[in-house]
A and B are shown apart, each in its own frame.
Chain A
Amino acid sequence: MKRANRRMWSVLTAAAVLTFTAACDNGDKTEQAEIAAELRALRATLQSASTPAPRQTAPDRAALVQALAPLQEALQALANDQRQLAARQIGLTQELQRWTQLVASQATSGTQAELQALTKRLQGLEEAMTAQQAQHAEAEAMVRKALDHTADQLETFLLRLEGASPPIDGDAPGKETPAQPGKEQPGKESAGDATGNAPAAGAAATGGDGAPKRGATGAWLALLLAAFATAGWLWWRRPSPSTRRRLLVDESVGMDEGVEQIWAAAELLGEAVGRLRTPEQVIEPSPARAADESIAVADALGLDDRVFEDTVVEEFVPPAAAPGPAAQSPAETLPGPVASSPAPGQHGVVGPESALFVVPLPFGDQTRAVRALQDVISRDPRVLRRPAPEVVVSAGRAAVRCCLLPTLPPGERSHLEQRLRDAVA
């Protein structure tokens, strides 16, 4: 647009200049014709310059649209998110309304009484807790007061002890301090008078009133030092916490009965506090507890202790010949007559009692006959299921090889064979 305006201005300026020169110069017609031709040419140029202008804006718009395309997509995505959020908010609002209605309906129904009761119960518990806290605070205050009182009494006692002791401070009588001018020291007057600038030496030399007082002070000082030394020695020789209990037990022989009771009560109290402080632990089942449970089962079933003791489980040592498998081997611990009569080379267990029954098969469908044999032999409790019985058909006869229960009477064995024969008959 600016370029077009600029061209238009330049054309108008040129036209004005030409008009002005034409007006100023009244030349011949040829010049006018030239001017007119130039004007036409300028008009044509202007027309040609004004027509391509809209053509140039079209690519800019397309580029603008292309440049704004990502922004448009983002705006569309944002609008979609907004719509989804609005939908979710509406859903949540509806759900909240439903919950509110549900709570209101429940509160208004029969549970309102329960809620009130629970609220009252909660209030009662809070009040009880507050009262307990007040009691605890009161007890703590009482203990603190007792401790303060005890400390005061101890301090008073110590002060009294110091007061009863010989004076060692500067204000004590007979204290030999450097001479202080302008301060009266009544106990020092005579000595000062007698000895001049050396009262202590004079007192020591004269052996006047200062000599026994200084001796008593030294004695008290020695006594105090001895007490401190004894206390320090006792502190250094104090037993470790681990041995305190043992020493307590050892020393309790010579203790007073009341002291023993106090210490026992303190011990119990300490244990109780420790038990309360330790977190609850999972109690692993102990053999004794397990035995108690089994006894409880026996008691519940009406079986007396004698019965249970008779069948108490004992540690069983597996046979040495049997290899210890890594997998479960439950029957390894199973005692039995077979395991107790070992045969050489078979892990201490004799082989099963095998039997071979030869059953003649009828003419016709031998497959059905074999199936009947297998059916009988698989259901008969006298036949072991492992090793699995085998039925082999050969030359019109079936050979049934199986293992039987040990100690099977011959009659039972014969009966089994007859059952097989009857099955295929």
Chain B
Amino acid sequence: MSSPDSLALSSPLLRPERGGSTRVRVGRFELVLEAVRGGHSLLWGDGREARRFALGLGDIGQLSLQLEPPAWPCRVVVRETLVLAPGARVRGYVQLPLVPVVVGHRANGQDLRLLELANADLGGEWDERFGTTFRVASSWHVRFPMPTGEARATVPLTLFNDAAEMFAPADLPVQLLRQDLFVRRSSIVAAPRRLRWSGQSWNGTPRRRAEVNG
């Protein structure tokens, strides 16, 4: 039985007949696609602000709204204070905002990313050492969080402190790829991650550099 707050990685956004409209709601995001004279109009709102896009779809048959992980690595700042004793571990869940993307499906099977709707919960940062990252605030859930309908991915994390000193991480490096996301328990869940603190840096990343570059 599907919950009204259940999330899907991809929601179909049917092309309306001329003069008609279709509506899709994912969490607080809402999209209204209207077929107007000479094209389509897409109205997007996240509850705080709204934007209107004018689309020329051409031979694109269908549209879909896909929830994709942030394009850049995330530094998850946990609202609670995590403290790990030497050799200790802690397991929990964090939640990362997902980015709604409007994808057009062509008749030949090709998919086109039409629009990437920015998520205000993702704050981009840049510095000389780490490059571009998203700073994300999340609670440390000790149990699997209940689905709220928000476009967020639940990431199971297991943190290890391999160092000989106490460790209170300032943030947690997490990067998600699209193939890491799955729909479980009416939520979007990422594959479990393990992060090891060696005393100076986090050892272990969800992905190898080559995979990210590829």
Contact = CB atoms under 8 A, between A and B. Distances in A.
Interface of A: 284-285, 290-291, 293-294, 297-298, 301-303, 307-308, 310-311, 313-316, 318, 322, 324-326, 328-340, 346-347, 349-352, 379-387, 403, 405-407
9 contacts: A308-B192, A313-B194, A318-B201, A332-B130, A333-B173, A335-B175, A337-B213, A347-B129, A382-B124
A193 to B, nearest CB: 95
Nearest to B187: A301
Interface in B137-176: 144, 156, 158, 160, 169-173, 175
A291 B192 CA distance: 10
Contacts of A350: 131
Contacts, number: 186
A336 B203 CA distance: 16
Contact of A340 (B126, B171, B179, B212): B212
Interface residues of B, number: 59
**From DSSP, what is the main secondary structure of chain A's interface residues?**
loop
B131 A290 contact: no
Interface centre among B126, B158, B212 (most CB of A within 10 A): B126
B130 A334 contact: yes
Interface string B197-209: 1001111111111
Contact of B182 (A303, A335, A337, A383): A303
A217 B13 CA distance: 113
Contact of B201 (A324, A380, A382): A324
Contacts of B208: 314, 316, 335
B112 interface: no
B128 A346 contact: yes
A307 B182 CA distance: 10
B193 interface: yes
A335 B205 CA distance: 8
Nearest to A330: B173
Contact of A297 (B75, B91, B127, B213): B91
Contacts of A381: 118-120, 122-124
Given A290-B158, A340-B209, 20 more contacts: A285-B160, A297-B91, A301-B192, A307-B191, A311-B192, A315-B203, A316-B205, A324-B200, A328-B170, A329-B130, A330-B170, A331-B73, A331-B129, A333-B201, A334-B173, A336-B175, A337-B72, A382-B124, A405-B132, A406-B132
